[in-house]
Structure 1
Amino acid sequence: MKTTTDTSTTGRLSTMAPERQAFVLLRTVFTVAPIVFGLDKFTNILTDWTTYLAPVATSVVPVTPQTFMYMVGVVEIIAGIMVAVRPRFGSLLVAVWLLGIIVNLLVLGEYYDVALRDFGLLVGALALNRLAPVGSWHRRR
């Protein structure tokens, strides 16, 4: 009598293979976080996001810092949705986006701690990309 659990149909995180657990956790975080941060660009509840913007950004794109942050928010929301729908592509979009944020912070010459944190997130996004299947997990297994 075989008593193994088919995790592809149960969906319970505790019974999934470790690589599947890692994929689900990373996909969840990289879906929720960009969407929340993107929405907050419109409300500034978590922080005043314009303080993290290097002045050179608004000289390249001639808009007010807040308008620039609105555009950033839209991109972040789209990136989060892409991670949910197409994790292989979305994870790369998030990684590139984080690289842009890191460069911005280094150009600003402040918030090196945030730049380092975002580098860790970039590595996590790349790990998600490596774990994300080309098709669905059901077809891969």
Structure 2
Amino acid sequence: MSNTPSTTHAKTGSLLSMDPSRQAFILLRTVFTVAPIIFGLDKFTNILTDWTIYLAPVATSLVPVPAQTFMYVVGVIEIVAGLAVALRPRFGSLLVAVWLLGIIVNLLVLGNFFDVALRDFGLLVAALALNRLATGFRK
């Protein structure tokens, strides 16, 4: 048995031949670009879910607008956050992390959907990991 690599090598310059930290950066940047944009757009259509059920009533008492109008604003912010990750991942990743923190606080105040809050905490940590990876790459 030989310790030589298999005969099916990844092409030079392909994603599989990249440094693992670069691969992780690309993966996280892609997810944190696409997901917020999709979720943001869905705030206008409610195809995935009725987003207003995740909104703590205190939010609409602080900003006196209907819950769906509040969600429209949330949608715009999420779309902007996704675009920020695409264009400026060091900044955009922090924007997403802060946004996720806000979602977590909202869910805890709502007193429901603790599973979603825990999931979003994991996403917040991943956004911070993207920020750390982004410091090693341009943009």
TM-score, normalised via structure 2 length: 0.89
Residue number in structure 1 paired with 2:31: 29
Letter in structure 2 aligned against 1:17: D
Contact 1:88 1:134 survives alignment (8 Å): no
Alignment deviations for residues 26-54 of structure 1 (CA, whole Å, 9 cap, x no partner): 00000000000000000000000000000
Which residue matches 2:114? 112
Shift of 1:135: 5.7
Could you tell me which residue of structure 2 aligns to residue 89 of structure 1? 91
TM-score normalised to structure 1 length: 0.88
Structure 1 stretches of 5 or more lacking a match? none
- CA–CA distance in 1 between the matches of 2:89 and 2:136? 9
Counterpart in the other structure of 1:66: 68
Residue 42 of structure 2: which of 29, 40, 43 is its match? 40
Which has the larger Rg?
2
Say if 1:40 and 1:73, in contact at 8 Å, map to a contact too: yes
Provide Cα deviations, 1:42-87, integer angstroms capped at 9, x if missing partner: 0000000000000000011110000000000000000000000000
Q: Percent identity?
A: 78
Superposed structure 1 runs of 4+ greater than 3 Å apart = none
